[in-house]
Amino acid sequence: MNLTELNKVALAMVAPGKGILAADESTGTIKKRFDAIKVESTEDSRRDYREMLFRAKEAMSQYISGVILYDETIWQNAKDGTPLVKLIEQAGSIPGIKVDEGTQALPQCPGELVTAGLDKLAERLKKYHERGARFAKWRAVIDIGHGIPTMTAIHVNAHALARYAALCQAAQIVPIVEPEVLMDGDNDIDRCYEVTQRVLNKVFQELRVQRVALEGMVLKPNMAISGKKCPKQAPVEEVAEKTVRLLKACVPAAVPGIAFLSGGQSDEQATAHLDAMNRIGHLPWGLTFSYGRALQAAPQKAWSGKSENVAAGQRAFSHRARMNGLAAKGEWTSELEKKAA
């Protein structure tokens, strides 16, 4: 393992004013997104859509540090035969790959999940590295509900995240460690804070046990936020203050950066929360974004599967990328949002 090189890639992933595009939707998930814009999900339409994003030069070169790809996408070529991985590199971004294989029911723990994909991961990582991937992503899912999460679910998922991270570093790939506490329930922000604190503490304990070099990873957590069904939604300032306090309590300063997931927040909400956190300042690590839907909903709608709409789709993508790039520096305002829209 060359830690200097891993650290260099990790720092580039969280460079000031840049963030990560999560374009790693599974075939099933992107079908739902395409259904919403009345586009048939085929290998070609998925390729065309992602090629549109990767060829959006302004967005990619100025605001996107890296792109998380799905297994299908990393092997695809653009219409002109250029590997999509090369398009990302040519734009000055770093190609990455989602390596988990989704979730399955956790035995003896009703309503809880564990992420699969550790089997043969070492061999897969080797092939992905040869193809150009320099970082990877593994998502663990923790739900909040009556009697959950259990310590079992937290422990099993933290262990798998750390095992994945160790295998990535052995393959000279930077791991994005993503423990996502879902925001789907009726819990308030303080319950989310308490659960996320337990999860992060366990994750970092497991990372240390498995000798993962913290300088060569990026953390992708949820924010401390109210559940979607909670009658009282915490305001932006409270989300920012509590999330920063939580991270300072749990995340060692050796970690180069934190790239938040949007987790079902609206486009503007995800941007506003990130901006408010960066305005607090004096943080030991970079705080940026690793958004999927919050970066892509607008360009998908503008594109709608039509080649004549490619430029409109790219403009919509560039706008969202720029807004989040500003938020990653604490320079976003709702006035800028309206002006550029």
Q: Would you name the residues annotated as active-site residues?
A: 178, 220
Distance between CA atoms of residues 256 and 253, nearest Å: 7
Contact 13, 257 (CB under 8 A): yes
Distance between CA atoms of residues 40 and 27, nearest Å: 12
In this structure, which amino acid lies at residue 148? I
Give Cα 162 to chain centroid, integer Å.
17
DSSP state of 17: T
Q: Which residues pair with 181 in a beta bridge?
A: 142
* Measured distance between the N- and C-terminal CA atoms of the chain, rounded to whole angstroms: 45
DSSP letters spanning 128-185: HHHHT--EEEEEEEE--BTTBS-HHHHHHHHHHHHHHHHHHHHTT-EEEEEEEE---S
Q: Is 189 helix (H, G, I), strand (E, B) or coil?
A: helix
DSSP letters spanning 212-227: --GGG-EE-PPPS---
Structure tokens at 242: 């509590």
Closest CA to 266 of 288, 293, 244, 303: 293
